[in-house]
Amino acid sequence: MQQLLAQDARHYSTFRLPANLARVTEVESLEMLQAYQPSTPPLILGEGSNSIFLTDWQGDILRYVAANVIWQPEDDVLLLHAEAGCNWHQLVQSTVSEGWWGLENLALIPGSVGAAPVQNIGAYGVELADCCIYVDFFDWHSRKVQRFTSEQCNFGYRDSVFKTSLSGQGVIVAVGLKLQRKSQPHLSYKGLDHLPPDCSPAEVMEAVIAIRQSKLPDPSVLANCGSFFKNPILSFSQFKHLLNEYPSVPNYPQPNQNYKVAAAWLIEQVGLKGYRHGEVGCYPLQPLVLVNYGGGTAEQLREMIALIQQSVLKKFAIMLEPEVRLLNQHD
Ligand code: FAD
Ligand code: EPU
């Protein structure tokens, strides 16, 4: 167990706003986690690619960094038990290079395995829920690891039980995944539909990486946390009203006659694509991604969020909700 004091938040969030973190503890095993007993439940952090510090943070911060992976191949199925501290994309690459289907559409998503179930990471027609069979969760109260089946995780769009009722209750220590030797590729996303139906998982992964690199900024070059807002989900009547006025709104039918609409399009329509406020801006190639050009401040980010939300609300009567986790010590 390693305790790091007075840390610079820019090393712990890919949005890189300046802030001081009083104490970050890195825990490397379950035994050490048993021994870790902070006075109040800590803030859990993975690789910080979906977390932004708006203020200094005085409380304890925990990173669970155990990173072993157990492979259990059985005929045409691979069961993977991956500890939370593994890097997600490295795990994807290692399975795809062995020819296993399941994770190829989720390539190049930054961050850790432990964070993947929290918002049920998703991209290009696939989400973690499609191959996750369990999540192992260390509960602060019982101080035991409890296994949640995929059903118990209550996965939804950018949502799970770990973001709702279990938030602050413990830490994800491992994730169980089920991959397949034979499968149909998921090629429904527009940029993947040129691939032949008999393509390999590696070909899908390469195509996904090419799409991502063409429109998403690399956080190691330009600070960002990916999509800043969720794509809003509208009821049938809200959606019909919107479609009447704006027939070209990109939309995706959801269960229960709901419709998801593209937040990137809404932001572009209010004229904010490429807009810059100080050192913070809407990325010119994908306006749903907010970027920090270098010297961005929490105040600039707050003002930018308010400008986007108010502009979209005024024109479309839709309130955009942040997808990233905004951390404010005073909340
Ligand atoms: P962090 O930011 O460190 O934490 C995120 C949340 O998970 C926090 O609430 C934290 O408390 C919690 N958490 C982390 N580890 C644990 C744990 N062990 N136990 C309990 N809770 C934990 N996301 C997508 O879904 N799809 C995308 O296509 C996508 N593209 C992105 C592209 C870019 C360029 C960037 C920068 C981000 C993108 N994201 C995407 C968002 C991000 O990659 C994911 O949310 C990722 O899962 C975050 O991992 P992390 O380890 O960095 O999480
Ligand atoms: N669009 C515009 N203008 C633009 C860009 C996009 O109008 O400048 C419209 C287009 O119609 C496009 C649509 O928006 O078809 C959707 O854009 P895109 O396919 O780039 O995806 P997104 O909806 O903006 C979501 C996820 C991403 C994920 C991609 C691919 C959310 C909040 N975001 O983005 O996840 O990688 O789909 O599946 O659901 C993340 O969560 O951080 C993230 C990057």
Q: Do residues 170 and 185 touch, judged by C-beta distance below 8 A?
A: no
Q: Of 16, 63, 158, 325, which residue is the catalytic one?
A: 158
User: Among candidates 46, 209, 50, 194, which has minimal Cα distance to 123?
Assistant: 209
pLDDT of res. 6: 87
pLDDT of res. 331: 84
Cα separation, 15 vs 220, whole angstroms = 10
Task: Find where tokens 């069979």 sit.
Answer: 133
Interval between CA 58 and ligand 2 midpoint (Å): 35
User: Among candidates 17, 48, 9, 50, which has minimal Cα distance to 296?
Assistant: 17
Cα separation, 264 vs 276, whole angstroms = 16
pTM (2 d.p.):
0.98
- Burial class, 249, CB count within 10 angstroms (exposed 0-12 / middle 13-18 / buried 19+): middle
pLDDT of res. 38: 87
Interval between CA 229 and ligand 2 midpoint (Å): 10
Which numbered atom of ligand 1 lies nearest the CA of 110?
43
Q: Of 83, 227, 311, 325, which residue is the catalytic one?
A: 227
Which numbered atom of ligand 2 lies nearest the CA of 265?
7
Catalytic status, residue 158: yes
Query: What is the chain's pLDDT, residue by residue, as a tens digit (331 residues)?
Result: 999 998 999 999 999 999 999 999 999 999 999 999 988 999 999 999 999 999 999 999 999 999 999 999 999 999 999 999 999 999 999 999 999 999 999 999 999 999 999 999 999 999 999 999 999 999 999 999 999 999 999 999 999 999 999 999 999 999 999 999 999 999 999 999 999 999 999 999 999 999 999 999 999 999 999 999 999 999 999 999 999 999 999 999 999 999 999 999 999 999 999 999 999 999 999 999 999 999 999 999 999 999 999 999 999 999 999 999 999 998 8
For residue 105 and ligand 1, the question of a CB distance below 6 A is answered with no
Catalytic status, residue 227: yes
For residue 216 and ligand 1, the question of a CB distance below 6 A is answered with yes
